[in-house]
Amino acid sequence: AQKVTQAQTEISVVEKEDVTLDCVYETRDTTYYLFWYKQPPSGELVFLIRRNSFDEQNEISGRYSWNFQKSTSSFNFTITASQVVDSAVYFCALSEAGNSGGGADGLTFGKGTHLIIQP
Amino acid sequence: NAGVTQTPKFQVLKTGQSMTLQCAQDMNHEYMSWYRQDPGMGLRLIHYSVGAGITDQGEVPNGYNVSRSTTEDFPLRLLSAAPSQTSVYFCASSQTGSRNEQFFGPGTRLTVL
């Protein structure tokens, strides 16, 4: 069965520091999709990125970057020059789109990392 | 576009009561789903639907029913609420399945006493 592990329950850094959030996944499918979502204190879920299993290129969007490594089953998220507005819970999630195991068509979420950016 | 809407935002129930959480989307998405979020647990899939008239179970379906009579609406029913169902419930939709970006509703915070 699929699994997503976010080992860092909480991270606290001072503003302007760089911070990396780890995500390790398990799946038997060769076709799958990985996601990151942000949940700010207001509670809504904000989509950040989607990556399919055939595209291992790293991606950068402003201060955000993602490192996808199939060899280590990891999809880590780095925030450069963190800001107070980055304070939130961040979730990594997996979709086994190939669904070869006959499982449910839904996202498997990690337990989330609570990121605190101190001014 | 309103996106994904959920009502109510907050609800308090007594054990044994029933209620329906409403979810609607105006993006003509085929796929809709329900998740619950508990402290320290991430989000877990309750039920999902790949189109009108089709529903299926997720990871934690017990105690919940769903139906999908229209593309737009995907209500979640609690038949006999239990304290273990105290949670925040999120509805989501996407074009075709969990492989696509999910658009989440604002959530319903449910407390069962």
Asked whether residue A101 carries a pLDDT value surpassing 70, the answer given is: no
> Is residue A103 scored above 90 in pLDDT?
no
The CA angle B45-A21-A30, to the nearest 5 degrees, is 55
Interface-testing mutation among B10, B99, B110, with chain A (most A C-beta atoms within 10 A): B99
Count of Cβ atoms closer than 10 Å to residue B12 Cβ: 11
What pLDDT score does B40 carry? 84
By Cβ distance, the residue of A52, A91, A105 closest to B98 is: A105
CA–CA dist A85, A15 (Å, integer): 10
The pLDDT tens digits for B36-51 are 999 888 999 999 999 9
Query: pLDDT-derived band of residue A105, with 50, 70 and 90 as boundaries?
Result: confident
Q: Which two tokens stand for residue A12?
A: 């606290």
Whether the pLDDT of residue A13 is over 80: the answer is yes
CB pairs under 8 A between A and B: 66
**Confidence class of residue B1 from pLDDT cuts 50, 70 and 90?**
confident
Contacts of B41 in chain A (CB under 8 A): 111
Sign of CA dihedral A50, A55, A61, A66: positive
Among residues of chain B, what percentage have pLDDT more than 90? Answer: 91
Specify the range with the lowest mean pLDDT, choosing from A6-20, A46-60, A72-86. Answer: A46-60
CA distances from B3 to A39, A77, B76, B106 (A): 17, 27, 18, 10
- CB neighbours of A13 closer than 8 A, spacing ≥ 6? A19, A82, A115, A116, A117, A118
Distance, in Å, from the CA atom of B106 to the CA atom of B21, rounded to the nearest integer, reads 12
CB-CB neighbors (< 8 A) of A109 in chain B: 35, 42-44
Bridge partner list, B102: none
Torsion of CA A24, A27, A32, A36, to 10 degrees: -30
Taking only the tens place, the pLDDT of each residue in B54-103 is: 999 999 999 999 999 999 999 999 999 999 999 999 999 999 888 889 99
Chain position carrying tokens 């606290």: A12
